[in-house]
Amino acid sequence: MTPQEVSVLFMDDEIHDTQATIVRDAVAALRQQGYDVTAVEKMSDAMDEFYRKFYKVFILDIDMSHVDDVLSQAGERGTRVAEDYRALDNGTAVIMFSAMGLVDDWVRVVNRHIFGYVHKGDERAIDRLVDLVATAAASDTRGLDLPTPRRSGQVLVCNAGASRFDEPALAQQVQAAGDFTPVFCTLGEMAERLTQDDFAAALLLADRFETRPAVLAKVDAVCAHQATPNVVIGCQGSDQARASILHLINARPFRLVNLLAGDAATALSEAVRDAAYWYGGNECFRAESRYVHRAAQNVDWQKLDEQFGASSEFDDDAREEEQP
């Protein structure tokens, strides 16, 4: 796919602000690469775009308070729009581009399986964004090997320094997820173990992951094994750990659990169960009913019928049910 064939939606409340150099330069850099970029400054406009056109990539900011809009008036932020896009999933790669992001935002969006996150305040932020868009544009999830949902089996667990959980406590949480047996290993061994044995899920925890490349490369190697098995990562969600957490987001684990949350233990169990039970399709996220209704209204059912012909299977079933 050439850049010209890739449509990009760019949402930022400072899109028309002449002082917002980073935003303007980012849009310019993407256009310079040849991408077909549509820029919007309101969250409601971005939602409208969802129904108007398919975008391969959706780049969005989190804080959208500088522009008056029905959604910003209601206290909503970009994370909400990202969630809605993922809930109404049409295959668009969602990338956050923000200087605002905080722990809540990170955990929220990573668990909606966004494609990536670039912090505007980081060095070479625009280069990173352009690289990520190129990766998203080149990615095709249709060839994904889908796993079989697992109700039992082994779960590979690595505690790389999560002080709240010792081995028995982690074993308890894994067993609480279902008929699963925990197998413990070190971070150094983890990726290799995933290739050697059959695991229903993998669980990797640390209070705070170090930002050393040696450590992060191991984390990436573990996540690269997905979807067989899916990987759950737990770490303490603190703004101070931004560097490592953003790296984790970009490694795209199946779930990221904030170990500082009061319900972290239960959340870990639930995440392990979800990771193992994953049926292979996109996860179903709860979409707002008004957006679902709107999507349904926009569908021209008659045209679809004409295009594809009425589904004889379903019609036959319906006719049979109607028979006295």
Partner 1 sequence: MDEATLFKESNKLFITCQYEQALPLLRQYDQLEELTNLKRLRNKRNIADCLLDVHRGRGEGDWAVEFRNNLQQYWQLLEQVNPTEISPQPLLAFFAVTLEFHLEVESLEQIGDKARATYREFARRSPKLESGILKVRDAEFLDVVVAEIERERRNFARPDHARRAARLAEAMLEELGDAERFRPHRTAINNLLADLAYFFPLSSEAENERYKRVSGYLEQALQASPHDDFAKIFKSHVDRLAATTLQIKRFGHDTKNRLANVRQLLERLERQVAAGSELHQTVLAVRREVRGLSLLGRLVTSEQPPVEDLQEIDPIELVWPLLQERGWPASCLQRVGTPGPWELYPDYVRIALENLLRNTVEAYGRHHIELPPEPCRITIDYEARTLAVRDWAGGVDPELGDVFAPYVSSKGVRDNTGLGLTQAREALEVQSPKFRLELAEPQPQGGAEFCIHIPILPLP
Q: How many residues does the chain have?
A: 324
Q: Which of 146, 161, 300, 305 binds partner 1 (CB under 8 A)?
A: 161
129 lies in the binding site for partner 1 (CB under 8 A): no
**Contacting range for partner 1; rule: CB under 8 A; set: 17-25, 279-287, 297-305, 308-316:** 17-25
Q: Which helix (DSSP H) or strand (DSSP E) does residue 73 occupy?
A: helix 70-73
Q: Which of 43, 206, 235, 276 binds partner 1 (CB under 8 A)?
A: 206
Token pair listed for 234: 């737990």
Give the DSSP letter string of 75-113: T--HHHHHHHHHHT-SSPEEEEEES---HHHHHHHHTTT
Q: Which of 129, 191, 231, 257 binds partner 1 (CB under 8 A)?
A: 257
Q: Which helix (DSSP H) or strand (DSSP E) does residue 213 occupy?
A: helix 213-223
Number of residues that bind partner 1 (CB under 8 A): 60
181 to 200: interface string for partner 1, x by CB under 8 A: -----xxx------------
Q: Are 133 and 30 in contact (CB under 8 A)?
A: yes
295 lies in the binding site for partner 1 (CB under 8 A): no
Give the DSSP letter string of 281-324: S-------HHHHHHHHHH--HHHHHHHH---HHHHHHHHHHH--
Nearest distance, CB of residue 148 and partner 1, angstroms: 27
**Residue of 22, 31, 44 lying closest to 4 (CA atoms):** 31
Nearest distance, CB of residue 146 and partner 1, angstroms: 26
Instruction: Give the integer Cα–Cα distance in Å for 33 and 16.
Output: 21
Q: Binding to partner 1 (CB under 8 A): which residues in 29-88?
A: 63, 65, 75, 79
C-beta closer to partner 1: residue 212 or 319: 212
149 lies in the binding site for partner 1 (CB under 8 A): no
Q: Which residue has the tokens 């049409």?
A: 90
Nearest distance, CB of residue 278 and partner 1, angstroms: 18
Contacts of 85 (CB under 8 A, 6+ apart): 50, 58, 92, 94
Q: Which of 9, 14, 27, 157 binds partner 1 (CB under 8 A)?
A: 14
Q: Which of 48, 131, 192, 263 binds partner 1 (CB under 8 A)?
A: 263
- Residues found near partner 1 in the complex (CB under 8 A): 14, 19-22, 25, 63, 65, 75, 79, 99-100, 102-105, 107-108, 111, 120-123, 125-126, 160-161, 169, 172-173, 186-188, 206, 208, 210-216, 218, 239-244, 247, 257-258, 260-267
